[in-house]
C-alpha cells in the first residue's frame, strides 16, 4: 500500500518515517517534502502543493490514505476535497478546523462548553479594544483571530506594548486579513505543556505527552519561535492531571464539536497551561500535530502508526492499543541564521552523512529535517532552506541522558550561522513534576 503525507517540515519527516516502518506500506509520498525525506528509505518527494493536484495524484496512484501535517491545507479545505473525491484522509474538515483557524471561534466554543481557558474579549474596532485595555492590567495577551504562522500572538508585558499591538493589527493591518479581528486574553502564568490526541469523531486515543521550548534563546529568553526543541514524556502531566485533561478538556471538545455538527477527526493538539494553583487551562487548540513535539513522539512510538490511523478512520479507536518506548525522547532544533525574523537560506550543511556517536546506538537517534533542500554544485549537497533546519532527536534513560545524547550528535553537524539552544529539556529535569 502507498500513503501520502502533506507537508514539508520536520513533523512530516517524522510522520512519514514512522509510517514507512509499517510492514504493509511499500512507499510514503511526501508533498512537497525536503532533503531529509528525499534521502530517507521508503519515502519519495512529490513536488506538488495545490489541493486539486494532490487529489488527482491520490486517485491516480491509488493512495490508501493521506495524512496532513500543517494547518494551512486544513484551512483551505483539504479534508473536504479528499472526502468529495471519496479518498481517505486523516484530518479535520475546514469546519472542524475552526478550532485552530479562528481564535475567536475557539474561545467562544470553550465558553459554550465550559472548557477552562483565560478570560477574553474579541474586537474588530481599535478604540473599543483600547478602552478594554485601559480597564485591564499588564501583562496581557493580544492574538490575531486568524492563522498567522506563529506570529499572531503578542504577550504584552506593559500597557504600551499592548496598545501598540492593537494598533499594529487593527489600524496598520500588519497581519492582513488574519488580524482584522483580535482576541484580548488574560495572561496566564505557569508551566506550558503539549497534549496531543487522535480522534475518530467520537473516541480519543491520547498520544505521549510532551513539552515544547518556544523561545529562541537559553533560559526561555528572546522572541517566540515555532519551537526550538521538545521532549517527551513531560513529568508535569501526572496520571491525575492526565485524567483531568481528558475529562475537563478533551472529551468536552470532541462532544461539543459533535453537538455543533462539526464532528472532529484527526490529530488534536491542546496547548495547556498548568497554573501555580494547579488549574489546567487551554492556551490554544491546533488541529494537527506539533512541531517539534511530533519528532519526539514518533521516536517513542512502538506501535504501527498506519494501523492506528486506519482504526481512527474506521471509528474504532476504542479498540486501539498503543505502545511507547519507556525512555525519554528529546529533540533539539538547529535553526538558520536570522531565524525567526529573516532566516537565511542556502548555507551548506555538513556532517550529516555517516553520523555516529560513541555510546549511542544508531536506532536511538534520528536527524529529522525541517527546512532543507538538495542543491550545490552536484545537486547532492544538503542546504538550509528556511527557519528551522534540523531536529536532532534522541532517546535516553532520563531527560538528562536524552539531552546529553542530542547535543553529542548535534556537535557533528555544522552550517554557517546555526542557532541552537543548549538547555532543551531543563524544565523536565525535576523528580516530581510539581513545580508550578
Ligand atoms: P498560541 O498560538 O495561542 O498558543 O500562543 C503562542 C504562545 O503565546 C503560547 O505558546 C504561549 O507561550 C503564549 N501565550 C498564549 N496565550 C497566553 C496566555 N493567555 N498567557 C500567557 N501566555 C500565552
Ligand atoms: N510546537 C508548537 C506547534 O507546533 O504549534
212 lines ligand 1 (CB under 6 A): no
CB of 271 closer than 6 A to ligand 1?
A: yes
pLDDT bin (cut points 50, 70, 90) of residue 429 is very high
Output b/e per residue, 24-58; b: 16+ Cβ within 10 A. ebebbbbbebbbbbbbbeebbbbeeeebeebbebb
The answer to whether the CB of 147 is under 6 A from ligand 1 is no
Distance CA 432, CA 236 (A): 8
As its CATH architecture, domain 191-429 has: 2-Layer Sandwich (3.30)
Sign of CA dihedral 115, 234, 218, 336: negative
Mean pLDDT of 349-359: 87
**Which listed ligand is nearest to 285 at the C-alpha?**
1
What band does 14 get if pLDDT is binned at 50, 70 and 90?
A: very high
User: In this model, does residue 432 exceed pLDDT 70?
Assistant: no
Residue-wise pLDDT tens digits, 56-86: 999 999 999 999 999 999 999 999 999 999 9
Q: Are 190 and 384 in contact (CB under 8 A)?
A: no
Domain 2-91, CATH: 3.40.50.20
The candidate with the shortest Cα–Cα distance to 229, out of 247, 212, 205, is: 212
Q: Does ligand 2 come within 6 angstroms of the Cβ of 286?
A: yes
Ligand nearest the Cα of residue 191 is: 1
Q: Which contiguous run of DSSP H or E holds residue 184?
A: strand 182-186
Q: What is the pLDDT of residues 361-414, one digit of tens each?
A: 999 999 999 999 999 878 889 999 999 999 999 999 999 999 999 999 999 999
pLDDT score of 357: 77
pLDDT at residue number 54: 98
In 10 A of CB 383, how many CB atoms? 18
Q: How far apart are CA 59 and CA 434, in angstroms?
A: 50
pLDDT score at 377: 79
Share of the chain above pLDDT 90, in %: 90
Check pocket membership of 328 for ligand 1, CB cut-off 6 A: no
So what's the pLDDT on residue 431?
59
pLDDT at 378: 83
Minimal-distance CA residue to ligand 2 atom 5: 290
From ligand 1's centre to the CA of 241, what distance in Å?
20
The CATH number that domain 125-180 falls under is: 3.30.1490.20
CA of 209 to the centre of ligand 2 (A): 13
Q: Look over the chain and give the mean of its residue pLDDT values, rounded to a whole number.
A: 95
User: For residue 116, which ligand has an atom nearest its CA?
Assistant: 1
Name the residue of 193, 194, 196 to mutate for ligand 2: max ligand atoms within 8 A of Cβ.
194
Grid cell of 195 as nine digits: 497534549
Could you give the CA distance from residue 29 to residue 406 in angstroms, rounded to a whole number?
28
Q: How far is the CA of 400 from the centre of ligand 1 (A)?
A: 27
Q: Where do the H-state alpha helices sit in 203-284?
A: 239-245, 251-259
Determine if ligand 1 sits within 6 Å of the CB of residue 71. no
Q: What is the mean pLDDT of residues 100-108?
A: 96
At residue 91, the pLDDT reads: 98
pLDDT at residue 376, rounded to an integer: 83
Q: Give the lowest-confidence range in 120-129, 239-248, 355-364.
A: 355-364
Which pLDDT value is given to residue 436?
41
Ligand nearest to the CA of 211: 2
Residue range 44-62: mean pLDDT, rounded: 98
Which among 99, 102, 118, 141 is the best mutation to test ligand 1's pocket, defined by most ligand atoms within 8 Å of the CB? Answer: 141
Instruction: Name the residue ranges covered by the structural domains of the chain.
Output: 2-91, 125-180, 191-429
Q: From CA 207, how far away is CA 302, in angstroms rounded?
A: 12
Question: Which residue's CA is minimally distant from atom 7 of ligand 1?
Answer: 153
- What is the spatial distance between Cα 210 and Cα 202, in angstroms, rounded to a whole number? 24
DSSP 67-115: EE-SSHHHHTTHHHHHHHTT--EES--TTTTHHHH-HHHHHHHHHHTT-
> Is 140 touching ligand 1 by the criterion CB < 6 Å?
no
pLDDT over threshold 90, residue 343: yes
Q: Which three cell numbers stand for residue 203?
A: 473516541
pLDDT digits (tens, 9 = 90+) for 82-99: 999 999 999 999 999 999
- Cβ(120) – ligand 1 distance below 6 Å: no
Q: What is the mean pLDDT of residues 244-260?
A: 98
Cell output for 410: 548535534
Q: Give pLDDT tens digits for 286-321.
A: 999 999 999 999 999 999 999 999 999 999 999 999
Q: What is the pLDDT of residue 149?
A: 78
Residues 155-193: pLDDT tens digits?
999 999 999 999 899 888 988 888 889 999 999 999 999
Is residue 435's pLDDT more than 70? no
Amino acid at each position: 500500500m502507498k500513503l501520502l503525507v502533506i507537508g514539508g517540515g520536520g513533523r512530516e519527516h517524522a510522520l512519514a518515517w514512522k509510517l514507512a516502518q509499517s510492514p504493509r506500506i511499500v512507499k510514503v509520498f511526501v508533498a512537497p517534502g525536503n532533503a531529509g525525506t528525499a534521502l530517507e528509505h521508503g519515502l519519495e518527494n512529490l513536488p506538488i502543493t495545490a489541493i486539486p493536484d494532490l487529489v488527482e495524484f491520490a486517485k491516480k496512484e491509488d493512495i490508501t490514505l493521506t495524512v496532513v501535517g500543517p494547518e494551512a491545507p486544513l484551512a483551505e479545505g483539504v479534508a473536504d476535497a479528499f472526502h468529495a473525491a471519496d479518498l481517505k484522509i486523516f484530518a479535520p474538515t475546514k469546519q472542524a478546523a475552526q478550532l485552530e483557524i479562528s481564535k475567536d471561534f475557539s474561545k467562544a466554543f470553550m465558553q459554550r462548553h465550559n472548557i477552562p481557558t483565560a478570560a477574553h474579549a474579541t474586537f474588530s474596532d481599535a478604540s473599543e479594544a483600547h478602552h478594554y485595555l485601559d480597564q485591564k492590567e499588564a501583562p496581557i495577551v493580544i492574538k490575531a483571530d486568524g492563522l498567522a504562522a506563529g506570529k499572531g500572538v503578542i504577550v504584552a508585558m506593559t500597557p504600551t506594548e499592548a496598545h501598540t499591538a492593537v494598533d499594529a493589527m487593527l489600524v496598520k493591518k500588519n497581519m492582513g486579513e488574519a488580524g482584522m479581528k483580535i482576541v484580548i486574553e488574560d495572561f496566564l502564568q505557569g508551566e506550558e505543556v503539549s497534549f496531543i490526541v487522535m480522534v475518530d469523531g467520537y473516541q480519543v486515543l491520547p498520544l505521549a505527552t510532551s513539552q515544547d521550548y518556544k523561545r529562541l534563546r537559553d533560559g526561555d529568553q528572546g522572541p517566540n519561535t515555532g519551537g526550538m526543541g521538545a521532549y517527551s514524556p513531560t513529568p508535569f502531566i501526572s496520571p491525575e492531571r492526565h485524567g483531568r485533561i481528558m475529562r475537563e478538556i478533551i472529551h468536552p471538545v470532541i462532544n461539543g464539536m459533535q453537538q455543533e455538527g462539526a464532528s472532529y477527526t484527526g490529530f488534536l493538539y491542546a496547548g495547556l497551561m498548568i497554573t501555580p494553583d494547579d488549574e489546567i487551562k487551554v492556551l490554544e487548540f491546533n488541529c494537527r500535530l506539533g512541531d517539534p513535539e511530533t519528532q519526539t513522539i514518533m521516536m517513542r512510538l512502538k506501535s504501527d502508526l498506519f494501523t492506528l490511523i486506519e482504526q481512527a478512520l474506521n471509528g474504532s479507536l476504542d479498540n486501539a492499543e498503543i505502545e511507547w518506548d519507556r525512555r525519554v525522547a528529546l529533540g533539539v532544533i538547529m535553526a538558520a541564521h536570522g531565524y525567526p525574523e529573516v532566516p537565511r537560506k542556502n548555507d551548506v550543511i555538513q556532517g550529516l552523512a555517516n553520523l555516529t556517536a560513541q555510546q549511542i546506538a544508531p536506532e536511538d537517534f534520528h536527524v529529522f529535517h525541517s527546512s532543507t533542500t538538495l542543491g550545490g554544485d552536484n545537486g547532492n549537497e544538503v542546504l538550509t532552506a528556511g527557519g528551522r533546519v534540523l531536529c536532532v532527536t534522541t532517546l535516553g534513560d532520563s531527560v538528562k541522558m536524552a539531552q546529553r545524547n542530542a547535543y553529542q550528535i548535534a556537535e557533528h553537524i555544522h552550517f554557517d550561522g546555526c542557532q541552537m539552544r543548549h538547555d532543551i529539556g531543563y524544565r523536565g529535569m525535576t523528580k516530581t513534576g510539581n513545580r508550578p
